[in-house]
A = this chain, B = another copy of it.
Amino acid sequence: MIYTIKTKRPQEFIDVTGMISDAVSKSSVQNGIAAIFVPHTTAGITINENADPNVVRDILNSLNKTYPVEGDYMHSEGNSHAHIKASLMGSSCMVLIRDGSLVLGTWQGIYFCEFDGPRNRKLFVKIIKD
């Protein structure tokens, strides 16, 4: 399944847990894994806390301290920091499916990580049956 995401800011984490749950429901798969893939090189995917929005803000701020937007980079497009962050968070992740539902911890949300927005983005989800 292919989902579209319209990001609004240069850098932001967008909770896509509902999107992945939707893909699981539509597949009718009861047990297996959801393989999630970001087809971009300046965006990534991660799982982290969904309760206090300051958590993902702290993650973004910390990444920006270590890999600043303006830095001593060779790539001329000015978004090297975003490429680095994309590789650190990763392009793919997977979540287990049990009894037709995603198995996540209480505080876990799945986040699309925009590092070079705003842009129109895509997210691929493949449900693999056990």
* A residues adjacent to B (C-beta < 8 A): 32-33, 35, 37-41, 46-49, 52, 54-55, 57-59, 61-63, 66-67, 71-77, 80, 83-84, 86-96, 103-105, 107-108, 122, 124, 126, 128-130
Contacts and interface: CB of A to CB of B under 8 A. Distances in A.
Q: Oligomeric state, in number of copies?
A: 3
Contacts of A57: 74-75
B124 A39 contact: no
Given A40-B108, A52-B77, A58-B74, 15 more contacts: A39-B108, A40-B107, A41-B105, A46-B87, A52-B76, A57-B75, A58-B83, A58-B84, A59-B84, A62-B67, A62-B71, A63-B84, A66-B66, A87-B89, A105-B122
Contacts of A35: 33, 94, 96
